[in-house]
């Protein structure tokens, strides 16, 4: 048995369009290295040069966020299911729009303060 | 207390009810594992967002940012708009809500009923289009006030000052607090309070995992993490798919008679997971979770009846939490 990995739409260019790929590894870090050997470039989109998970990427093992399980050191077992998702706050619409307005308002405030 | 000077004063103070039928059974002699539901649908407009809306408006008034007759701008597809509409009406402000045109008809009707004005952004563009629409509106109306619930400390403070103390008062033996992760205000505020007061408290987040349409094709570098979010407040964080959320939402009304929205189903799913772990480990647990709102606003989705697969299809592409 292997570990099933769900790939989000935006990263399927690395997996030939596949939604789900299989990999192996004792930790999440090992798994990503294994995946990268067949899907070159995938790891680089998930892990920063400093070796940490990218801030805007969430990875779940059996539906639990790996950041609370040791991040790249999170232990994996055969049969686990790993899901990769872009970080989108609950209500993607509201947050995107709110962030845009907040950015504009603070720009305006900075201009006014000059 | 059952008498209040106005509706605004009646926010919070919600009941905490036990779930004797949904709580897992433990082996003879093992310590009890109990689930408790905090009924936030008992707030003035029927959701937990009344607490944050009231605190954010009061904070803006105290800071001199809001004066009578001002216009509040809120990009929302959810309960915050409805709560703000009520608070704005009673405190004398105009509310303009920006939302995608594909939100449920109940939400539009409720907002208009409370007196809010609505600007629709095209559904097809998703959050990218929402950003463009929001920027345009802000540029056209520099005097409108945005409370920005994702970065507004008064949102989290509402829960630090009310939800947290209420829970500890009603359930001094609490071991786990489980809530939904959206703006993160509920978890940050309640979580911080409980961490200060209860040794070993577990603060558990349940976030909705939507259909692929919602995540769209955005670049990973354009992701969003709310400014309020502080991961050190949380103990664990679960991602709950549509199917599990619907299953638990139905179970809650079928088994315990609590009719809730789908985000509550996602939260219950995580609460049951930690409850069953406690049973397995032979540990005592009092798991309190949040019922965010009632199911009324979601009836038109049709997801309360039929097969789970049908319900999943009905919610595909919707922001159900």
The pLDDT tens digits of the residues spanning B7-59 come to: 999 999 999 999 999 999 999 999 999 999 999 999 999 999 999 999 999 99
What pLDDT is recorded for position B215?
Answer: 63
pLDDT tens digits for chain B (321 residues)? 689 999 999 999 999 999 999 999 999 999 999 999 999 999 999 999 999 999 999 999 999 999 999 999 988 878 999 999 999 999 999 999 988 787 778 888 999 999 999 998 877 666 667 777 878 888 899 899 989 898 999 999 999 999 999 999 999 999 999 999 988 999 999 999 999 999 999 999 999 887 766 665 556 666 778 899 999 999 999 999 999 999 999 999 999 999 999 999 999 999 999 999 999 999 999 999 999 999 998 888 888 988 888 888 877 766 666
User: Is the CB of residue B119 less than 8 Å away from at least one CB of chain A?
Assistant: no
The per-residue pLDDT for B315 is 79
Q: Is the ipTM of this complex over 0.90?
A: no
Q: Give the Cα separation of B91 and B109 in Å (integer).
A: 21
A57 neighbourhood in chain B, CB within 8 Å:
220, 223
A9 to B208: CB separation less than 8 angstroms, yes or no: no
Q: Where are the alpha helices (DSSP H) in B146-287?
A: 153-158, 164-170, 185-197, 212-215, 242-256, 262-281
Question: Of A9, A55, A94, which has the smallest distance from its Cβ to B215's Cβ?
Answer: A9
Q: Do B126 and A99 make contact, defined as CB atoms within 8 angstroms? A: no
Token pair of B288, please? Answer: 């309190």
* Token representation of residue B2: 């059952």
Provide the shortest C-alpha distance from residue A69 to chain B (in Å): 8
What distance in Å separates residue A22's CA from the closest CA in chain B?
A: 20
- The verdict on a CB contact (< 8 Å) between B146 and A101 is yes
Question: What amino acid positions of B are annotated as catalytic residues?
Answer: 49, 263
Q: Which ranges of B72-208 does DSSP label H, i.e. alpha helix?
A: 79-91, 105-113, 126-140, 153-158, 164-170, 185-197
| Domain architecture of chain B: domains with CATH | 7-42+164-310 (3.40.50.1100), 49-146 (3.40.50.1100)
Classify residue B268 by burial, with Cβ atoms within 10 Å: 0-12, 13-18, 19+. buried
Phi and psi torsions of B194, nearest 5°: -65, -35
Residues in chain B within 8 Å Cβ distance of A89: 150, 182-184, 224-226
Rounded to whole angstroms, how far apart are CA atoms B266 and B290?
10
Residue B17, both tokens: 């009810």
Domains of chain A: 3-88 (3.10.20.30)
- Between chains, do B217 and A45 touch, taking CB under 8 Å as contact? no
Cα–Cα distance measured from residue A82 to residue B130, given in angstroms and rounded to the nearest whole number: 30
């Amino acid at each position: 048995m292997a570990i099933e990995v769900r790939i989000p739409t935006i990263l399927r260019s690395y997996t030939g369009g596949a939604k789900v790929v299989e990999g192996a590894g004792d930790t999440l870090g090992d798994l990503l290295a294994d995946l990268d050997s067949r899907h070159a470039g995938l790891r680089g989109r998930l892990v920063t040069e400093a070796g940490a998970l990218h801030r805007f990427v969430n990875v779940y093992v059996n539906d639990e966020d790996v950041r609370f399980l040791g991040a790249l050191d999170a232990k994996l077992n055969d049969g686990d299911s790993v899901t990769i998702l872009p970080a989108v706050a609950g209500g993607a619409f509201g947050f995107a729009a709110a962030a845009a307005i907040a950015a504009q308002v603070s720009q305006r405030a900075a201009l006014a303060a000059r | 207390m059952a008498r209040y000077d106005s509706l605004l004063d009646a926010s919070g103070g919600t009941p905490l009810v036990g779930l004797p039928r949904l709580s897992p059974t433990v082996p003879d002699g093992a310590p009890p594992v109990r689930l408790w539901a905090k009924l936030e649908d008992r707030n003035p407009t029927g959701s937990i967002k009344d607490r944050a809306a009231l605190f954010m408006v009061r904070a803006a008034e105290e800071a001199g940012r809001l004066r009578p007759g001002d216009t509040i701008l809120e990009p929302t597809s959810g309960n915050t708009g409805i709560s703000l509409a009520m608070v704005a009406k009673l405190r004398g402000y105009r509310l303009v809500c920006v939302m995608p045109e594909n939100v449920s008809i109940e939400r539009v009707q409720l907002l208009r009923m409370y007196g809010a004005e609505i600007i629709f952004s095209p559904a097809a563009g998703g959050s990218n289009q929402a950003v463009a629409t929001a920027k345009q509106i802000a540029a056209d109306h520099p005097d409108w006030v945005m409370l920005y619930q994702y970065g507004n400390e008064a949102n989290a403070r509402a829960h630090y000052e009310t939800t947290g103390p209420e829970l500890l008062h009603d359930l001094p033996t609490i071991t786990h607090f489980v809530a939904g992760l959206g703006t993160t205000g509920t978890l940050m505020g309640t979580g911080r309070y409980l961490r200060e007061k209860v040794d070993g408290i577990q603060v558990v987040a349940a976030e909705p995992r939507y259909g692929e349409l919602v995540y769209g094709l955005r670049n990973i570098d354009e992701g969003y993490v709310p400014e309020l979010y502080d991961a050190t407040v949380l103990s664990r964080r679960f991602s709950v798919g549509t199917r599990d959320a619907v299953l638990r939402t139905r179970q809650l009304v079928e088994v315990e008679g609590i009719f809730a929205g789908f985000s509550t189903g996602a939260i219950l799913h995580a609460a049951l997971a930690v409850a069953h772990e406690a049973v397995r480990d032979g540990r005592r647990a009092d798991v309190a979770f949040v019922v965010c709102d009632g199911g009324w606003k979601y009836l038109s989705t049709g997801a309360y009846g039929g097969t789970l697969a049908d319900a999943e299809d009905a919610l595909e592409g919707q922001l159900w939490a």
